[in-house]
């Protein structure tokens, strides 16, 4: 199966290991991975800030970049949810509406793709330790992917998965919210870290680098002994 | 109390409230308990998503035919001997009510369900003509006797006060001498209020749902005070926002069930009162005269715009009860009687961007509000629409942000510019990087690094790794 990777700007520039793990994981599961070089960003930073025109230019670039893809897979629930919004945003635009629908229909978040399309629940990964999973808001509420990541993590050998208290609550990232409303965002992430500590987790696993950058950045600042990992990295661990 | 709460600029309010540990603990406790309770009654009802769709459909249909249903309502109220007044502005509404009070030579007025009358700032108008105005919802009563402390939640207005603080207020203002036991406190309030019901000349209520087919109004309460407010005084005035209406009893039943489950996690409240016009011959109680004041106050200018869904709101506060921002900053930070996500959308619409331009940004867009809303208002999307208007029409966006977004557009709309721009990210950030992280960021990163580390850009972008790997044909 040929899969086109939409790696997201955060992974392209900062969290390259999550991108590498995604490629290796998909290849191990028999996919041929292609990386369309023309991709940039899904447009969300501009869209969520109210810069719709600017966002739409980025979105058009996305549609051009993935025009020939069969499946578009992305290791981010939030970016996948943004792409799923394209048909709504380009509704009534004769040039782009159909393209937007096509891209939205063939775009999958990584764990959703593994479970729903590849029908794999055990990827043969192993990682030793106690972990908890952060359900990012856009992935669960906007994209509706709730079970797939947990299903995959439950089958990771050696990993003790414990539920995160108040898991439904936002970590305080929210894109530009984290800088515009810094003091509020800080309180939110501190509450999240409090819950992670409550369950005594060695690992905090997530499927969105935005949330992980926020939670991880705060954990680092506070010097907490919690390792933050993208789910692709966990699923790509072999021992 | 007007819609706007005069308590300083946004950041001053937020900073103050972030320091208020008691308030934050009370809000978090309310949210956590409420979350479990609400999920419980939703589960018990079953088919929640279908109920939400039905409720949304009812609200949408009513708004699309609002003129028809309002006309039907007013005809039916008139048929039953009631008076109807359409008020385009807060002033018109207040003026009408003032005239009724003057005509009745009212000395004392009891009130219940006062949200919309707070929006139009009715009480000072009545007090100016010598009326004593008594709020009878327990939460509102506490705030009123505490020198008009503003409400901090649309369903539990005194949420920010604990029982000791309430005891102190009662001691100071009512000569109360007993303990902070909620039962004793409530009993005392009840004794005080009973006297007021019996001696009031006019009862004023809000309205949960008006029913067009019968000209009735529905009040949903747990305290039973609304029944006394509507049954005892000779004159009753109901003030309703013009959108708070349903076609028939059938839709009212659906929405009441959605309201009580979403607001307080109850199947039903203790009292659901339906009143139709003044007392009929042979009725044991009820007012001799009934007035319905239908308030526009900016609502009709929301109709037909992209913000129309906000008029679907049934004021349950489910969005407030799940909002992680409200959780930390509390209701007073919003500077409006409408707080939380509903307040962040509604306050700029009713009160303008000058006073409320920060509110659309006081959200991480986590969509917990949208998910909880029983009538499916896309609250987080409406917040983005506000942001869009602030940027495009109001021109109120900060210059640095505009520049950043111009750069974003340049950098993301074409792939060569993106590749060129991002290639130099590691060297551009290099002076700020230590141990693979940025602790004191420049420019917009400064706010981030106030409380968090920022990752250094990878030396090799993912795309470079992928290209090299393909060229080299390196196996895994």
From chain A, pick out residues whose CB is under 8 angstroms from the CB of B367: 137-138, 141-142
Q: What is the largest CA-CA distance in chain A?
A: 53
Instruction: State percent of chain A over pLDDT 70.
Output: 100
pLDDT tens-digit map of B145-155:
999 999 999 99
Please say whether the beta carbons of A231 and A211 come within 8 A.
Answer: no
**For range A56-71, the mean pLDDT:** 97
The reply to whether residue A177 touches residue B365, judged by beta carbons under 8 angstroms, is yes
Q: How far is CA B434 from CA A64, B88, B382, B431, B458, in A?
A: 38, 62, 41, 8, 13
pLDDT of residue A142: 97
Q: What is the DSSP code (8-state) at residue B431?
A: G
In the prediction, which pLDDT does A25 show? 98
Among A228, A186, A191, A176, smallest CA distance to A207 is for A228
Whether the per-residue pLDDT at A210 is higher than 90: the answer is yes
Q: Taking Cα atoms as reference points, which of A208, A206, A209, A237 lies closest to residue A226? A: A206
Pair B293, B97: CB distance under 8 Å: yes
Distance from CA of A100 to the nearest CA of B (A): 16
Containing B313, the helix (H) or strand (E) segment is none
Please tell me whether residues A107 and A170 are part of one structural domain.
Answer: no
Alpha helices in chain A (DSSP H): 9-13, 16-28, 44-48, 52-65, 77-89, 97-106, 110-112, 137, 147-154, 177-180, 182-198, 209-222, 231-235
Torsion of CA B356, B361, B363, B367, to 10 degrees: 100
A162 and A190, same domain (yes or no): yes
Q: What distance in Å separates residue A120's CA from the closest CA in chain B?
A: 21
**Substitution target from B18, B36, B353, B366 for chain A, most A beta carbons within 10 A:** B366
Residues A112 and A139 in one domain: no
Question: Same domain for A138 and A100?
Answer: no
Judged by a CB distance cut-off of 8 A, whether residue A52 touches chain B is yes
Tokens at A54, concatenated = 């600017």
Number of domains in chain A: 2
The answer to whether A218 and A193 have CB atoms below 8 angstroms apart is yes
Distances (CA, A) of B345 to A32, A129, B38, B242, B301: 46, 44, 23, 18, 14
Which of chain B's residues have a Cβ under 8 Å away from the Cβ of A166?
32
**Last residue of one domain, picked from the residues A117, A149, A172:** A117
Q: How high is the pLDDT of residue B476?
A: 46
Query: In the prediction, which pLDDT does B332 show?
Result: 96
pLDDT digits (tens, 9 = 90+) for B325-369: 999 999 999 999 999 999 999 999 999 999 999 999 999 999 999
Best of B20, B324, B414, B437 to disrupt the A interface (most A CBs within 10 Å) is B324
Looking up residue A107, the CATH number of its domain turns out to be 3.40.50
Which of the four pLDDT bands, split at 50, 70 and 90, describes residue B434?
Answer: confident
What are the residues facing B133 on neighbouring strands? B109
- Tell whether A134 and A167 lie within a shared domain: yes
pLDDT value at residue A214: 97
Sorted by where each starts, the structural domains of chain B and their CATH numbers stand as: 10-295 (3.40.50.10420), 399-472 (no CATH)
Task: Say how far apart CA B173 and CA B149 lie, in whole Å.
Answer: 13
Per-residue pLDDT, B473: 56
Question: Within this chain, do residues A7 and A56 fall inside the same structural domain, yes or no?
Answer: yes
Look at residue B246 and tell me whether its pLDDT is greater than 50. yes
- Annotated ligand binding at B207? The verdict is no
Q: How does DSSP assign A10-33, residue by residue?
A: HHHHT-HHHHHHHHHHHHHTTPEE
Sign (positive or negative) of CA dihedral A77, A57, B422, B425: negative
A73 and A172 share one domain: no
Q: Are residues A66 and A25 in the same domain?
A: yes
Q: Are residues A133 and A91 in the same domain?
A: no
> Which among B15, B447, B452 has CB closest to A217?
B452
Beta-bridged to residue A134, according to DSSP, are A206
Range of the domain at A132: 126-235
CB spacing of B448 vs A54 below 8 angstroms: no
> Does A6 share its domain with A110?
yes
A103 with A131, same domain: the answer is: no
**Cross-chain CB nearest to A184 (options B329, B425, B465):** B329
Radius of gyration of chain B measured on its C-alpha atoms: 26
pLDDT at B337: 94
| Mean pLDDT of chain A, nearest integer | 97
For residue B26, the distance in angstroms to the closest alpha carbon of chain A comes to: 15
Cβ distance of B367 and A142 shorter than 8 Å: yes
Nearest to B368 by CA among B391, B341, B334, B397: B341
> What does the pLDDT read at residue B396?
80
The answer to whether the beta carbons of residues B203 and B155 sit under 8 Å apart is no
Clarify whether residues A137 and A103 are in a common domain.
Answer: no
Distance CA A50, CA A44 (A): 10
Alpha carbon distance B320, A39 (integer Å): 38
Share of chain A above pLDDT 90, in %: 99
Contact criterion met (CB below 8 Å) for B222 and B270: yes
**To which residue do tokens 């721009």 refer?**
B421
A20-31 pLDDT tens trace = 999 999 999 999
The pair phi, psi for residue B135, each rounded to 5°, is: -75, 135
Q: Which 3 state secondary structure label does DSSP give B14? A: helix
Q: Final residue of a domain: which of A117, A137, A170?
A: A117
* Tokens linked to B390: 């602030």
- Say whether pLDDT at B1 is over 70: no
Mean of pLDDT values over B225-232: 93
Is the Cβ–Cβ distance between B98 and B122 less than 8 Å? no
Q: Is A37 on the interface with B (CB under 8 A)?
A: yes
Provide the 8-state DSSP code for B361: G
Report A:168-227 residues touching B (Cβ under 8 A): 168-170, 172-189, 191, 213-214, 216-218, 220-221
Query: How open is the CA angle A203-A205-A211, to the nearest 5 degrees?
Result: 120
Confidence of residue B442 (pLDDT cuts 50, 70, 90): confident
DSSP B309: G
Contacts of A50 in chain B (CB under 8 A): 384, 386-392, 397
Tell whether the model's pLDDT for residue A66 goes beyond 90: yes
Among A77-86, A158-167, B113-122, where is mean pLDDT lowest? B113-122
Has residue B2 got a pLDDT over 80?
no
Residue B253 has pLDDT above 90, yes or no: yes
A-chain residues within 8 Å CB-CB of B439?
221
Return d(Cα B133, Cα A127) in angstroms, integer: 67
Q: Does pLDDT of B472 surpass 80?
A: no
- Check residue A181 and give its pLDDT: 96
CA pair distance A182, A70, nearest whole angstrom: 40
What are the phi and psi torsion angles at B108 (to 5°)?
-135, 135
pLDDT in tens, A91-103: 999 999 999 999 9
- Interface touch A169/B368, C-beta < 8 Å: yes
Mean pLDDT value across chain B: 94
Is the predicted pLDDT of residue A221 greater than 90, yes or no? yes
How do residues B184-195 score in pLDDT, each as one tens digit? Answer: 999 999 999 999
- Region at B195 (left for phi over 0; alpha for psi -120 to 50; beta for the rest): alpha
């Amino acid at each position: 199966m040929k899969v086109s990777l939409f790696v997201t700007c955060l992974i392209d520039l900062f969290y390259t290991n999550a991108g590498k793990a995604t490629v290796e994981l998909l290849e191990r599961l028999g996919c041929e991975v292609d990386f369309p070089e023309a991709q940039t960003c899904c447009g969300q930073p501009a869209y969520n800030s109210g810069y719709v025109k600017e966002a739409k230019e980025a979105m058009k670039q996305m549609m051009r970049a993935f025009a020939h893809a069969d499946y578009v897979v992305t290791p981010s629930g939030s970016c996948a949810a943004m792409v799923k919004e394209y048909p709504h945003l380009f509704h009534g635009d004769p040039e782009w509406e159909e393209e937007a629908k096509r891209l939205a229909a063939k775009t999958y978040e990584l764990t959703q793709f593994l479970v729903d399309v590849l029908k794999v629940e055990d990827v043969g990964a192993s990682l030793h330790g106690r972990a908890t999973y952060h359900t990012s808001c856009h992935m669960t509420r906007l994209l509706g992917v709730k079970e797939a990541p947990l299903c995959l993590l439950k089958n990771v050998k050696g990993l003790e998965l414990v539920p995160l208290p108040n898991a439904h609550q936002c970590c305080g990232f929210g894109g530009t919210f984290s800088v515009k409303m810094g003091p509020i965002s800080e309180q939110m992430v501190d509450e999240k870290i409090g819950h992670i500590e409550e369950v005594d987790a060695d690992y905090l696993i997530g499927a969105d680098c935005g949330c992980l950058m926020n939670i991880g950045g705060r954990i680092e600042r506070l010097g907490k002994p919690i390792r933050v990992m993208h789910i692709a990295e966990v699923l790509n661990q072999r021992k | 109390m007007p819609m706007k709460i005069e308590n300083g600029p946004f950041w001053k309010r937020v900073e103050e409230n972030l320091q208020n540990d008691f308030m934050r603990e009370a809000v978090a406790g309310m949210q956590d308990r409420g979350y479990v309770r609400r999920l419980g009654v939703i589960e018990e009802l079953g088919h929640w998503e279908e109920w939400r769709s039905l409720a949304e459909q009812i609200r949408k249909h009513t708004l699309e035919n609002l003129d028809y249903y309002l006309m039907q309502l007013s005809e039916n109220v008139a048929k039953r001997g009631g008076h109807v007044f359409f008020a385009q502005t807060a002033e018109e509404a207040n003026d009408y009510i003032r005239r009724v009070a003057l005509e009745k030579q009212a000395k004392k007025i009891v009130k219940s369900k006062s949200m919309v009358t707070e929006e139009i700032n009715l009480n000072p108008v009545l007090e100016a003509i010598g009326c004593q105005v008594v709020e009878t919802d327990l939460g509102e009563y506490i705030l009123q006797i505490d020198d008009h402390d503003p409400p901090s939640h649309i369903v539990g207005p005194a949420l920010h006060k604990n029982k000791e603080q309430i005891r102190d207020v009662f001691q100071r203002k009512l000569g109360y001498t007993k303990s902070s036991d909620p039962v004793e406190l409530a009993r005392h309030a009840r004794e005080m209020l009973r006297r007021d019901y019996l001696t009031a000349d006019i009862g004023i209520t809000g309205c949960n749902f008006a029913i067009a087919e019968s000209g009735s109004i529905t009040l949903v309460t747990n305290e039973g005070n609304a029944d006394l407010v509507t049954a005892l005084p000779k004159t009753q005035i109901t003030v309703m926002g013009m959108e708070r209406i349903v076609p028939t009893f059938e839709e009212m039943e659906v929405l009441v069930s959605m309201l009580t489950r979403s607001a307080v996690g109850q199947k039903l409240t203790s009292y659901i009162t339906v009143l139709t016009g003044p007392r009929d011959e042979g009725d044991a109680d009820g007012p001799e005269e009934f007035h319905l004041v239908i308030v526009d106050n900016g609502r009709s200018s929301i109709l037909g715009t992209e913000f129309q869904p906000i008029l679907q709101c049934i004021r349950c506060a489910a969005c407030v009860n799940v909002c992680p921002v409200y959780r930390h900053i509390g209701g007073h930070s919003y500077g409006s009687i409408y707080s939380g996500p509903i307040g962040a959308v509604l306050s700029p619409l009713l009160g303008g961007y000058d006073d409320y331009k920060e509110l659309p940004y006081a959200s991480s867009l986590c969509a917990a509000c949208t998910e909880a809303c029983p009538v499916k208002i896309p609250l987080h999307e409406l917040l983005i629409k506000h942001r869009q208007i602030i940027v495009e029409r109001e021109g109120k966006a900060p210059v640095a942000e505009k520049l950043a977004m111009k750069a974003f557009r340049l950098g993301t709309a074409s792939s060569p510019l993106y590749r060129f721009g991002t290639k130099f990210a590691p060297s551009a950030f290099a002076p700020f990087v230590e141990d693979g992280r940025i602790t004191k960021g420049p420019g917009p990163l400064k706010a981030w690094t106030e409380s968090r580390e920022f990752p250094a850009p990878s030396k090799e972008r993912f795309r470079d790794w992928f290209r090299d790997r393909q060229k080299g044909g390196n196996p895994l």
